[in-house]
Amino acid sequence: MKKLGNVLIEVMQDLSSVSTNGSAHIRVNKNICSPQQFEQLFNYFSRGTILERLELEVDAMPTQLECVCGHQEEINGEHNGYGRCPSCGQFADVKDESYQLVDPDPEKTQPRKSIRF
């Protein structure tokens, strides 16, 4: 899993490259930090940048264990990238995204054309 500082930098880079219309909604893995902590750090480090006045909504995102048998469950704490499925006993993948940009959707949003200071 990525460190909090790296995730914060990546989120700021992603939001800087797309047109946000003044607001954004992201989900941050709850194993990295709480949504409140992330929002406070984002507000602090975005001072003096084009993201300074951005209204940011942050939600927690769980780490998921997903098996080929269809079983899914939330995982808390440390893991090795895989785990045993409690349903069938096979090794299952751990979906451990650091963050997800919900709105604006990077696939549907136009890149930022200009930066006005």
Tens place of pLDDT for every residue, the chain, 117 residues? 688 999 999 999 888 887 677 889 999 988 888 999 999 999 999 999 888 888 999 999 988 888 999 999 888 766 667 788 888 888 888 888 889 888 876 666 666 665 553
pLDDT on residue 114: 57
- E strand intervals along the chain: 23-29, 55-61, 63-66, 72-75, 82-84, 91-95, 99-103
Residue from 60, 65, 98 nearest 79 by CA = 65
* pLDDT (0 to 100) of residue 115: 55
The predicted structure's pLDDT at residue 117 = 39
pTM value? Answer: 0.74
Amino acid at residue number 23 = S
Cα distance between residue 25 and residue 16, in whole Å: 14
- Total Cβ atoms within 10 A of residue 114: 4
CATH number for the domain running over 4-103:
3.30.2320
